[in-house]
Structure 1
Amino acid sequence: MGQITLSQANAIIAGAFAKGAEARLNPLSVVVTDAGGHLIAFQRQDGASFGRAQIATGKAAGALAIGASSRRLGVMAEERPWFLGAFTASAPHPVIPAAGGVIVVDASGAFLGAVGVTGDTSDNDEAAALAGIAAAGLKAQG
């Protein structure tokens, strides 16, 4: 199985920040993790609050933990809050149930890692994550 390199992680972050600038989003924070949810790279734009690292990591790790984007976690929180509460209490990494966490896959669909973005609306965070993944020449889970 492959992995996201530091160079690719930095390209993802730069691409997400470029999308944020283009769309005039609030200051973003972007984390890139490996397939186990472990940090590869993180950057926080000027003006972003200090808690954004934990939020971005929680979005990325949550996506990896359930095998789908963190948007799905948000739906689960509405549909089955008792289940999500139990899941987050037992998860090895913090989990944030909101859009902005996207899984990065290889050509066969195997997980390479994830991207978590926070700072604007959840929909805009997710759009920035997707733009960053594309800018690095990688593929988001479909």
Structure 2
Amino acid sequence: MTGAAEVAAGSAIALRLESANAIIAGAISQARADGIPPLAVVVLDLSGHIVAAQRDDGASMFRFDIARGKAWGAVAMGCSSAALAARAADNPNFFNALGPTSAGRLLPQPGAVLIRDADGSLLGAVGASGGTGAEDAACCAAGVAAAGLVPEK
């Protein structure tokens, strides 16, 4: 099968490696075009597993973990990390409990968007770290669109 998503055994929708790599390339390209500091970009599938990840030249070693935490939270909670940050501000006790509950994987900070196919099916999430949260999210959205998929901010 070809295309951004394919139906795997059991009708599970999978995010293809080719698409994940295109998302990363698009996000890093956007960051460079906008003069944003070097990014780490992590693309996760629906189960929170890494499909692809890259750290741009000059990005600090901590950027990968931050990008992954943003993407993991987005896919786990089904909304962008900016939406999670807003929800965390309104309900800090719940979100403080999510850190230990998720073994430290969830980071409710702006910088990740959901990835959908043209039919609206959720495929995963992409997170970035290097710029501001808004810059990271914009780079993620640009990467998703460059891959021919639909970002959900």
TM-score, normalised with respect to structure 2: 0.87
- Superposed CA deviations along residues 71-103 of structure 1, whole A, max 9, x for unmatched, are 011112211110101122212661111111111
User: What code does the residue aligned with 2:18 have?
Assistant: S
Which runs of at least 4 in structure 1 moved beyond 2 Å after TM superposition?
106-110
Choose which of 2, 23, 26 in structure 2 pairs with 1:12. 23
- Which 5+ residue runs of structure 2 have no aligned equivalent? 1-11
Question: Contact between 1:37 and 1:93, CA under 8 Å: does it hold in 2?
Answer: no
Partner of 1:41: 52
1:68-83 pair list within 5 angstroms: 68-83=79-94
Match of 1:50 in 2: 61
Q: State whether structure 2 residue 141 is matched by structure 1 residue 130.
A: yes
SS of the equivalent of 2:13 reads coil
CA distance in 2, matches of 1:93, 1:9: 24
Matched, 1:112 2:118: no
- Quote the residue 2:99 is aligned against: 88
Q: 1:20 is aligned with what amino acid?
A: A
**Partner-residue secondary structure (3-state), 1:3:** strand
TM superposition shift of 1:67: 0.8
Quote the RMSD (CA, aligned, Å). Answer: 1.4
Find the residue that maps to 1:96 and give its secondary structure: coil
2:141–2:152 CA contact under 8 A, matched in 1: no
Q: Say whether residues 1:65 and 2:76 are aligned partners.
A: yes
Q: Secondary structure at the match of 1:57?
A: helix
Q: Which amino acid aligns with 1:135?
A: A
Unmatched tracts of structure 1, length 5 or more: none
Aligned length: 142
Contact 1:31 1:53 in 2 (8 A): yes
